[in-house]
A and B are shown apart, each in its own frame.
Chain A
Amino acid sequence: MRIPFSVRTLAAGLAAALLAAGAHAQAGQEITFWIRAADAGFVEPLVKTWNDKHANKVALTVIPSDDFVTKFGTAVAGGAAPDVVAIDLIFVPAFAQAGQLSDIGAEAKSLPFAKSLSPSHVRLAMHNGKQYAVPFSAESSFLLYNKALFKRAGLDPNKPPTTMAELEADAKKIAALGGGVKGFYFSGACGGCNIFTMTPYIWASGGDVFSADNKSETLDNPALRNTLAMYRRMWKDGVMPGGVKTDNGSNFISPFFSGKIGMQGTGAFAIGLLKKDHPEIDFGVTPLPGEKGGSSSFAGGDSIAIPVGSKHKKEAWDFITWCLSEEVQVEQFAKNGSIPVRADLADNAYSKQDSRFAMASAAMQTGRTPYSVHFNQLINDPNGPWLAMIQEAVFGKGVDVAIKEGQAKFRQILATP
């Protein structure tokens, strides 16, 4: 019997609809994920791995690091926030206070490795007793030094400085080599770079930038004065290259690649970068020292959170959990030169291959991180009081004027809600 054309057409249409529905069900959800450009190197392969293995897909957006707070803040205000965001841990308190991040405390506590997560990340994710983020990537700060330059300057390359006085003396000896060689480098126009690499000298010397309750400044302390004075002397004595004055962080590590910088503060990312791209540079790492010994580190990196208004909270949490798994922390992060955010994974096959990673991981676990809802305005803002104080102290009128002006501006900002 011949089937009528209309029936055949209807059957074909129904079959096509069923196929499309099945394909859609298999395709899963799309989760939007924002990161800052500084993380692109290790997050892009991470997202590709996730997308290759899972039905739910992650659509990654990379935002310029300097503009991340502005772009994320305006997206949140406009109701266009992503499903998942990896944000510098120092900004989490501000967004948590503004009610823009979801409370994921219950989910975080249910993780079997919850107690192994980076304590600094977890502390900064807390607001009014609730937890709004979990660790995503870890960065600790330490002193990077060029062993070849140490040898040329008559210094023992296996005995890096253990006090600030030794650091300054070693830097001067290296700068005396001449030929464009300089003893020390720092990004003098970058607030975030200096909270990362300069503050540990202050902490190791017994001082701090904020009070214990984070509600007031403590800038006028001997440790901070002496740290700024050390930088000023190194600048005046020509121990640093001229470009430090205007470097806004875009040259944070690249001058070291030239092989003409003796020492600089940097983060764990530099270890993998130097090993991969500049194997010709014989480098060492050591903790950032205090005035009379001791050491400290800035425990940094990114936290990962689910903005309020996300329509894929369950899928977002699945992705976050996967990022914290041993598979990712070791085979993606540690293998490519990053530090795991879990203390139980700090000692892994890749960190054992290079003791420098082990030092960076140890610094992460004992490192400190300031907590402030005004962090962006105070510290990271290129026109903010932290950077203005450093620039005035090192390149301008001196330490006393710088601290006095800095205190006034810090207090003005800290007084706002």
Chain B
Amino acid sequence: MLTLIGFKTPRRWAGFFFILPCLAVTTMFFIVPLLMTVWMSLNDWPLLGHPSFSGLKNYADLFQDASFWGSVLFTAKYTLVVTPAIFLFAFSLALLVHRGVRFVGIFRTAYFLPVVIGMTTASLLWTWLFNDQVGIFSAVLMDLGWVDEPVQWLGETNSALASIVVMVLWKAAGFTMVILLVGMQAIPIDLYEAACLDGAGWWAQVRHITIPMMRRTFALALTMSFIGSFLAFEQFFVMTRGGPFNSTITVVHWIYRASFTYFKLGYGAAMSVVLLLMLLVLSGVQLYLLRDEP
């Protein structure tokens, strides 16, 4: 039987049994929910009530839903701002803590600490830091005499976006820093020694050795950061609730509203499928652009 399905040697079916637990978990927690989501998207599926098959109606409605595409544009804008910001900041931190100088462990820990706080907790913390009545930022600016009245950090679209970007930078840069640090430390030290002997300074070594040798690490860090940013939800839900004027609603927030405010699980599922396809395409493009040169 095993021969018939291609397992000609004991070694092959031994390999299969080794990956079986992982396959089972992936099937149970990814493939099955994915198939269920696709099925739900083909139904008019209310949270309270009975579903009925509706074919591609949810997708037809979705492609005419200006609010959804508005949220896609906003999410893309946020992603294009925050992803390079996190990357550049994390790369700078990684360069700083790469060398084994004294107390470097303390600095690495300090930069990584915000990562372990949940995004919702971090968002609540920064909501109060930005608060005009009790927040420290407005208080400091007023004490310095730079402003006469408390600043409404979350009161305008651009300042709200900037405030959230700053919070996410503080929270997430440490994780990207660790990924980049691992990549940096995998570069053979001989290359730096040879470059040093040839008279290359610090910046020349970064440009000609560190950056080229970390291409794959960059691809990983950027792809993870990109996907994470495109799936942003908690920070906008907690800090702005999609305001002001519904101008900071992300795609996932819209999926949440459709499913749990409007109780339209089928429509929310259709949005989720479209989002998944968008991310697959964008990630593929990213990985292609960052592939190793032939």
**Which residues of A are interface residues toward B (Cβ below 8 A)?**
69-70, 73-74, 76-77, 95, 98-100, 189, 241-243, 245-246, 248, 251, 254-255, 376-377, 381-383, 388, 391-392, 395-396
Contacts and interface: CB of A to CB of B under 8 A. Distances in A.
29 contacts: A73-B47, A73-B48, A73-B260, A73-B263, A74-B47, A76-B48, A77-B47, A95-B48, A98-B49, A242-B132, A243-B132, A243-B133, A243-B150, A243-B152, A245-B244, A246-B132, A246-B154, A246-B244, A248-B241, A251-B133, A376-B261, A382-B243, A383-B242, A383-B246, A383-B249, A383-B261, A388-B246, A392-B245, A395-B245
A255 B134 CA distance: 11
Interface residues of B, number: 24
A391 B131 CA distance: 19
Contacts of A242: 132, 149-150, 152, 155
B208 interface: no
A241 B246 CA distance: 21
Nearest to A385: B246
B13 interface: no
Scoring A76, A245, A377 by chain B CB atoms within 10 A of each residue's CB, the highest score goes to A245
A362 to B, nearest CB: 33
Contacts of A254: 133
B257 A381 contact: yes
Nearest to B156: A245
Contacts of A189: 241, 243-244
Given A73-B263, A77-B47, A243-B150, A382 B241 contact: yes
B262 interface: yes
Interface of B: 47-49, 131-133, 149-150, 152, 154-155, 240-246, 249, 257, 260-263
Contacts of A98: 48-49
Given A70-B260, A376-B261, A383-B257, A391 B48 contact: no
B267 to A, nearest CB: 11
Given A77-B48, A98-B48, A377-B262, A391 B245 contact: yes
A347 to B, nearest CB: 39
Contact of B261 (A77, A246, A248, A381): A381
A251 to B, nearest CB: 7
Contacts of A95: 48
A307 to B, nearest CB: 11
